[in-house]
Amino acid sequence: MIRRLTEHDHETCFSFLKQQPAENLFIIGDIEAYGYEKDFQKVWGEFNEKGDLKAVLLKYEENYIPFSTGDFDAKGFANIMLDDDNFGMMSGLKGVTGKIEPFVSGLLKRKRETYYAKCTKLNAIADDVDTSAVIQAGPEDAENLVELLNSIPEFSDSTIRVERKRRGLKDGSSRSYFINEGGKMVSTSSTTAENSLSAMVVGVATLESYKKKGYATQCMVKLCRQLLEDNKELCLFYDNPEAGAIYKRIGFEDIGCWMMYTFEKMEAKVMS
């Protein structure tokens, strides 16, 4: 049985989601931030015959994120999406979204697949990494952080803005660490979408002329140590297997692939 969840279901819902905090980073963060009763956010749950929660579907604006650890009513979740005129995106673990995809494929415009990894503890090699030069950023460092990222080709499509970065550093929804050399910020790593159980690692970057000095690894290890000490699981996306190898060396493990789908909206299809 699938039904809308409310605040009365919160304990049941979180007991289910927190079994895999990294995998449910976005669902947990959105529920903690906005709850169950907002116009732009809704949450559904599927229950088995015993009344146990077995799957969750979160809608945030036009995006839907499904999660389950086993079989679930994929067609039922798809029907919820298709009944929403604003439905335009779906994202989630490949093993889950792949079961829904056949029922919504008629509206599919494009999809992207990326590796998804998490860290619950650091490898022994991280113990030997000297992080004494790594500085935790404050709101006053937002402008320099954004300038550093914008100067690196891999982040040329980044939509991060100084005010947004400053706000995240101020309200605790993100953290950043960096290394200065000669008074210049040359390497950094950050988190985003932090919630009470997990955080996403983003913005791992080093200026070209300062690479191969271990700076990115130092920033990553310092960041990971602090988040793990706060009892938060870390997760990240990566496309480049070479970058993945660096993350795995310090303690990240692949947990699957993350899918991002874009769909033609129902109202647009009707008009055409």
pLDDT > 80? residue 73: yes
Nearest CA to 56 out of 113, 99, 22, 5 is that of 5
CA 199/CA 118 separation, integer angstroms = 10
- Residue 206 has φ and ψ, to the nearest 5°, of -140, 135
CA atoms within 13 A on the CB side of 35: 6
Residues 185 and 222 in one domain: yes
- DSSP secondary structure letter of residue 28: H
**Closest of 263, 256, 254 to residue 95, by C-alpha:** 256
- Give pTM, 2 decimals: 0.88
| Residue 188 pLDDT > 50 | yes
Closest C-alpha among 195, 191, 256 to residue 226:
191
Q: Quick check: 244 and 115 in contact, CB under 8 A? A: yes
**Within this chain, do residues 62 and 34 fall inside the same structural domain, yes or no?**
yes
SS3 label, residue 26: helix
User: Are residues 127 and 97 part of one domain?
Assistant: no
CATH of the domain at 236: 3.40.630.30
- Comparing CA positions, the residue from 186, 148, 194, 150 lying closest to residue 169 is 194
Question: Residue 244 to residues 86, 174, 204: CA-CA distances in angstroms?
Answer: 35, 22, 12
**Residue 59: which domain range?**
2-115+257-271
Residues 240 and 266 placed together within one structural domain of the fold: no
pLDDT at 270 over 50: no
Identify the pLDDT of residue 266. 63
- pLDDT, one tens digit per residue, over 16-68 is 999 999 999 999 999 999 999 899 999 999 999 999 999 999 999 999 999 99
Instruction: With CA atoms as reference, report the closest residue to 266 among 57, 74, 82, 79.
Output: 82
Q: Work out how many domains the chain is built from and give that number.
A: 2
Query: Are 110 and 180 part of one and the same domain?
Result: no
Q: Give CA–CA dist 133/188, Å, rounded.
A: 12
